[in-house]
Amino acid sequence: MKKITINDLLAWKKEGRKFASVTAYDASFGKLFEEQEMPVVLVGDSLGMVLQGKADTLDVSVEDLAYHTRSVRAGNSQSLLMTDMPFMSYATPEEACQNAATLMRAGANMVKLEGGAFLADTVRMLTERAVPVCAHLGLTPQSVNIFGGYKVQGRDHDAAEQMVKDAILLAKAGAQIILLECVPGDLAERITQAVDVPVIGIGAGNKTDGQILVMHDMFGISANYMPRFSKNYLQETGDLRTAVSRYIEEVQQGSFPGPEHTF
């Protein structure tokens, strides 16, 4: 597997070539995903739920994410490695820069932030200081207490229009990837067409440039429940490596996610 960079993702968007991505938290799975040629790997604050057994992601720290970033990078040198910035680690642009530096030094190629237009100055400051950014819109799990639960976002007209505006603004501010979680498929398609940067979806239909799944959901071993937008590839294939390769193949073909996985 050749080393994947943001330039590869940009080229694939122009070509209409879809790509897969997945979360990882340790060296062993980092290596497995590299061997299966997974282009993008995310060290997600989802570790708070799938590794630590918490009800949400809010208790995850920068130190937790730096530790797991180092672990994944030890097993995987070729995938584009994104790392989440956890709850309240980017409350100000200055804090964002300090904490992003910790994650980049741990091995991340890019950091991911949750939020809309209010993050434009933070995104601009990070990118000006050589920290690539993925902007996460839609269902942003760190805002679970604002949303009142894990609910689909952007279903009404005003919310949808605001999300389109946020995506355009954040891309102009320097975000190099937009991630959309749990939004209607037609809205995700609009945003994908509205920005020049790659758009990755999870629970956002199959019209985005890429897809991402939490690895524990993809293997059917999540402690809580199987989200509607996910698929148990391990149950379908009976083998970890075959499960990963089938996921990558179905994303590239546009057969995953299907209508049953889309809001």
- Per residue in 28-45, pLDDT (tens digit) is 999 999 999 999 999 999
pLDDT, position 219: 96
Residues designated as active site:
181
Q: Which domain holds residue 91?
A: 6-261
CATH number where 52 lies? 3.20.20.60
1 is a domain residue: no
Q: What percent of the chain has pLDDT over 70?
A: 99
List, for residues 107-142, the tens digit of each pLDDT value: 999 999 999 999 999 999 999 999 999 999 999 989
Report which DSSP code applies to 204. S
Indicate whether 101 belongs to any domain.
yes
- Structure confidence at residue 150 as a pLDDT band (50, 70, 90): confident
E strands, the chain, in order: 19-23, 40-43, 80-84, 110-114, 133-138, 177-181, 199-202, 210-213
- When pLDDT is averaged across residues 62-70 and rounded to a whole number, the result is 98
What's the chain's average pLDDT?
Answer: 96
Per-residue model confidence (pLDDT) at position 224: 62
Q: Residue 223: what pLDDT?
A: 61
Q: Would you place residue 147 in the very low, low, confident or very high pLDDT band (cuts 50, 70, 90)?
A: confident
pLDDT (0 to 100) of residue 143: 86
Q: What is the pLDDT of residue 87?
A: 97
Give the model's confidence band at 222: pLDDT under 50 very low, under 70 low, under 90 confident, else very high.
Answer: confident
**Quick check: is 91 in a domain?**
yes
- Asked if pLDDT for residue 218 goes beyond 70, the answer is yes
Domain contains 249: yes
Name the band, by pLDDT with cuts 50, 70 and 90, for residue 178. Answer: very high
Write the CB contacts of 93 (distance below 8 Å, at least 6 apart in sequence): 121, 122, 125, 126
Burial label, 238 (beta-carbon count in 10 A; 0-12, 13-18, 19+)? exposed
pTM here is 0.96
Asked if residue 235 is part of any domain, the answer here is yes
Residue 150 has phi, psi (to 5 degrees) of -90, 95
CB atoms within 10 A of CB 5: 13
Domain tally, the chain: 1
